[in-house]
Structure formats: C-alpha cells, structure tokens
A = this chain, B = another copy of it.
Amino acid sequence: MGIPLLNPPHLTHPLTDFPYEERRLHPFRRYDLIPLDQRGVWLLRCGFVQLTTSQLSGDEVILGWVRPNEFVGPWFTRLTVYDAIALGDVYLQWFSLEEIEDSTELMRSVLHSTRRRLQQTEAILAIAGQRRVEDRLIQLLILLREELGEGQPGQPWIKLPIRFTHQTLASTIGTTRVTITRLLGKFQREGLINLGSDRHLAIHHSLLNA
C-alpha cells in the first residue's frame, strides 16, 4: 500500500479521548485510488479524499470531500461507480464494521462523520439545483472555501489545498467546461479569485457577497 511509513505524520486534528490514536496509519499519495472494502471503513486522519462517480459519458461528478476525522467506505454509498481519490498525501486507519457495531465510541464518531457527509452532499445538491449557472459556481466556490480552505478565519484570501480541473467543476454543477473557464476568468478579473503559480485556487471573502 504505497509509501513506507517512515515518518508518521503530524495529525492535524488529533481526536481527544479517542482510544485508537495508536492504530496503524496507512499512507497513500496524491491521486492514489483508496481501495474500498465492504467489510469495513477507513478513518481519514490526515489530508483530503475526493469522492466521485462517473457518468456513461465519462465525465466525473464530485459527490463530496472527506475531511480529517471523517470516515469513507462502500458502506456509505449505494452507487456502483464510486471512487475515493487521495488529494495529496493522506493517512488512513482501518476499522471493521463489527468493531463499529461493538463500540459506542466508534459508533458516535461514525454517526457524526455521516451527518457531516450528509450535510455536505445536501449542500452540493442544493447548489446544483440553482437556476443560474453563475450562482451555482459562486456557491460551489464558497462551499469549497468553507469545507477545504486553508487559512486563518478573518483572512481575505483562502487557498484550496487541491487543484480542480474545469471539467470536474463543470460536471458537478451541470454545465460545460467552456462556461467554467469563462466564469473563472471573469471572477479573476473582478478580484474574487486568484490562481497561484501552483494553479491552486485562492478565494477572496468578498465572493460571499458577489
């Protein structure tokens, strides 16, 4: 499973009173597909995982992002096409479904993670239902800033830890790649977003009032 675990990562959000801190960390690199197994779930301890499904046309639709201390696995979906991709170096811990059923601690963690995943998925669905494409993209960028953004609260610019293709953004909100490219260009000229040399989006807080 990928890179050897020489230097266990600094856990960005260690769980307080979580009796599994010392459990083995499985490392994956950026763009690795996380192997999913019906018998259990992964707990993400560090990094981000993107969930997608594919259409017959081959386009990807983003279903959401798993954040540190959230769980991922086929147990959470009924879709037959369901990919979990590491968006950078990630570290995961494995838990079997039996362990979760047997432990109130674990069940509480899985419940809170599932609730956050539901809230996020619902938010993306509400955005996809907006009538105007420009409103959809603004709201998706605001959601990305909130869910994935790195930076201090109160800072005007928040940078995303992930690079998104225009096609992925397009499929997620039901529009074309060309429209995304045009709108992102417009937002950039208006000073609402910025693209660093590493092509990561940075989002200005004034986008919230756009």
Give the chain B neighbours of A119 by CB distance below 8 A: 76-78
Q: Do A122 and B55 touch (CB < 8 A)? A: no
A15 to B74, CA, bound (A): 25
Confirm or deny: A123 has a beta carbon within 8 angstroms of a beta carbon on chain B: yes
A110 to B108, CA, bound (A): 10
Q: Do B122 and A79 touch (CB < 8 A)? A: yes
The count of residues in chain A whose C-beta lies closer than 8 Å to any C-beta of chain B is 38
A118 to B117, CA, bound (A): 7
Confirm or deny: A111 has a beta carbon within 8 angstroms of a beta carbon on chain B: yes
- Separation in Å of the A160 CB from the closest CB of chain B? 19
Q: Do A59 and B121 touch (CB < 8 A)? A: no
Determine which of B59, B111, B123, B130 lies in contact with A78 in the assembled complex, contact meaning CB atoms within 8 Å. Answer: B123
- Separation in Å of the A163 CB from the closest CB of chain B? 20
Given A57-B131, A128-B125, A115 and B76 contact (CB-CB distance below 8 Å) = yes
Interface string of A114-140 (1 = CB under 8 A from B): 110111011111101111000100000
| CB<8 Å pairs between A and B, sample of 16 | A53-B126, A55-B130, A59-B131, A61-B129, A63-B126, A76-B118, A77-B118, A78-B119, A78-B123, A107-B107, A114-B114, A118-B121, A124-B125, A128-B129, A128-B174, A174-B174
Q: Which 7 A-B pairs have the closest CB atoms?
A: A61-B129, A118-B118, A111-B111, A114-B114, A78-B119, A128-B128, A121-B121
